[in-house]
Structure 1
Amino acid sequence: MTSTSSNPPLHLNWMAHTPGLESLRVDELILPGTHNSGSDKQSPNLGVLQEFAQDVPPHEQLRHGIRVLDLRVRFYSSYPEGDARRFQVFHLTSSGRTVAVDILQRTREYFAELEQDGSKAREIVILDFHQFDKFTAQAHEELQALIYTGLGSRRLPYALRGQTLAQLWNEHPGKNVVVAYNHGSASHELWPGVKQCWPGENLFNTNTLKAFVDRIGKESKRDFELKAVQCAKYSLPFHAPTDLSNKIDEWFKSVDENSYIQNFFIINTDWSLRSNIVANCRHANQIRSALKKTDPDGRLQPSRRPISSV
């Protein structure tokens, strides 16, 4: 049954309790992501219908199992350095959410909640800084410095991209946050931006979206590349994000190794917590880890599932 926005199930630490997950690398995981993660109905500044893409703030998205945040950041030079409002999350306009507080501080708080018993969290979160508006070279330097300070030792450097979750959790406990930054950087800690696959337009019918998702599912992925399918569309007359929860549950239902979801990695959706995408990703990762263990080279080689089967 599809959950409603008022009572989505809590998935605080589903990765830690998913058997077999530790055999996969970060880029091999099947992860639930939110499209336009900072444009939620509780945002301070949103006032027009087409701005809303999620029901709850990024922090609550993490608590309910989302593991990839799609972040678009606008630079406000009118605010002085050190002012949190200098870097704000936007869609068409600013949501009023800031990188410093709503993303970095709240992410720290999420992990602090997991570690109340003194243990190290066994969860991975990807912060995909994907789009930048009104930025200068200096603004990028400043934002990256803010990210380094805001996350501290939580950052999982790109140099560790080849390690499995078991290696990360055992040899680098406390490094839980991948910072994907979709802009050139001299830092060796930042991962390249997530390759977000979208159709290049927003207004189309559900069948057109499904055909696009099918095509992405047939594509290969390079080792260590973070790749997402943008499974989202807008509807007239208000050009607002469509609630595709029923279709998301139908398309990405995880049953066995032949399930459609095995063709994907990061799945970004609107109204993400209204569907069962978290539970389906969790189950699909168990199957993927089992498939990897049976590969004679120990590498993940997911076969192309019959795309027409859904």
Structure 2
Amino acid sequence: MDNFAQNNYTLNNWMTATPAIDTLSLCELTLPGTHNAGSDWKASWPLIPGAHWLACQHQSFYAQLSHGSRALDIRLMYDADAQGLGKFCIHHNGYRNGRTLGHLVTDVEKFLQENPNEFIILDFHELKGEQFDFAYFNSMMMLFLGRRMIPTKNRSLSLRQLKQISSTQRILVAAPWHRALDQNVFHEQIGHKWSGSGITNAADLEKHIINVLKYPPGTWAPWSLSATSYSALGGPVDIHDELNSWFDPKKSDWALKCNIINVDFIEESNIVSYCRMVNLMKASKRN
């Protein structure tokens, strides 16, 4: 394993720099993900309850992708009075911040232009609001990211096969089902394995993860493990020491059993390098 860890690679293109993993599909890989990806400290937050209760990441979507995140957990709510992509606002527990779908599509496009052979899962976990305009959301996604979206029929193909089919299709987009969403490119909603409790300390989280990984979901569809902690006193908690201990492939098989590991404050832990290491392990078993 030490040989893997010492390979020179940068976080922004870790998949491209690890061609051995191209034999695996997005459902088979272990991917570092960012929980509440649009809820970051750099966004503009309401004074009450304040950013420290709501921010789960340090920086923008683009920065998260550049730090190695490959699955963005997105929560949108609808604002009929806003203009264009501003109608689709990022929120955390109903509290909006300044981020919108416009920031997301711009950041993703910029990242993929710079790193054309990285793959991203856009996990639209919530599309909220009685008036949510699914048809407009569909048309805006197709307009700005349509050429990037991996068709649903290709979900189980390996990265190598996906690259052979297209030089631009690099995003698996998943969302709650709605008849106005094009089922050819909108994959079914990704299941989140979370503790079920809004307040979760590290010990409770560890028990939850142990429980999930006794019988982890299969590799026919993407799934996400919520490896996040929240305190009643301070909001989202930075648990990078615990993450580094739990998911280190030298210490456990946890990372091997996962698909998306959904974490807060992605820059703080070694989760990206652990994912890369276990993906090389998975690929070597395949060959």
Alignment partner of 1:128: what SS?
strand
Segments ≥4 residues shifted beyond 6 Å: none
Change (3 A) 1:46 1:250: farther
Distance 1:162 1:233 in 2: 31
Distance 1:173 1:84 in 2: 26
List runs of 5+ in structure 2 lacking aligned partners: 1-8
Task: Report Cα offsets for 1:143-165 as digits up to 9, x if no partner.
Answer: 11111111131111111112111
Alpha-carbon contact 2:35-2:262 (below 8 Å) kept: yes
- Residue pairs, 1:46-57, within 5 angstroms: 46-47=46-47, 48=50, 49-57=52-60
Match of 1:292 in 2: 286
Match of 1:151 in 2: 145
Which residue of 214, 236, 247 maps to 1:252?
Answer: 247
Task: Report Cα offsets for 1:119-144 as digits up to 9, x if no partner.
Answer: xx22110111111221436x011111
Distance 1:27 1:46 in 2: 37
C-alpha displacement at 1:98, in angstroms? Answer: 0.8
Match of 1:169 in 2: 163
List runs of 5+ in structure 1 lacking aligned partners: 1-8, 115-120, 294-310
Distance 1:159 1:204 in 2: 37
Alpha-carbon contact 1:67-1:124 (below 8 Å) kept: yes
C-alpha displacement at 1:46, in angstroms? Answer: 4.9
Distance 2:207 2:135 in 1: 40
Which residue of 230, 234, 240 maps to 1:234?
Answer: 230
C-alpha displacement at 1:10, in angstroms? Answer: 5.2
Alignment partner of 1:12: what SS?
helix
Change (3 A) 1:254 1:46: farther
Alignment partner of 1:204: what SS?
coil
Residue 53 (structure 2) pairs with residue 58 (structure 1) = no
Match of 1:67 in 2: 70
Task: Report Cα offsets for 1:183-214 as digits up to 9, x if no partner.
Answer: 33452211111111111112133221101001
Alignment partner of 1:278: what SS?
helix
Alpha-carbon contact 1:14-1:65 (below 8 Å) kept: yes
Alpha-carbon contact 2:40-2:55 (below 8 Å) kept: yes
The letter of the residue matching 1:97 is R
Alpha-carbon contact 2:67-2:266 (below 8 Å) kept: no
Scaled by the length of structure 1, the TM-score of the pair is 0.84
Alpha-carbon contact 1:34-1:269 (below 8 Å) kept: yes
- Residue pairs, 1:165-204, within 5 angstroms: 165-185=159-179, 186-204=182-200
RMSD: 1.7
Alpha-carbon contact 1:74-1:135 (below 8 Å) kept: no
The letter of the residue matching 1:29 is L
Alignment partner of 1:28: what SS?
coil
How many correspondences in the alignment? 273
Alignment partner of 2:98: what SS?
strand
Match of 1:17 in 2: 17
Match of 1:110 in 2: 111
The letter of the residue matching 1:148 is M
Match of 2:124 in 1: 129
The letter of the residue matching 1:170 is Q
Alpha-carbon contact 1:197-1:228 (below 8 Å) kept: yes
Distance 2:186 2:158 in 1: 18
The letter of the residue matching 1:277 is I
Distance 1:46 1:289 in 2: 45
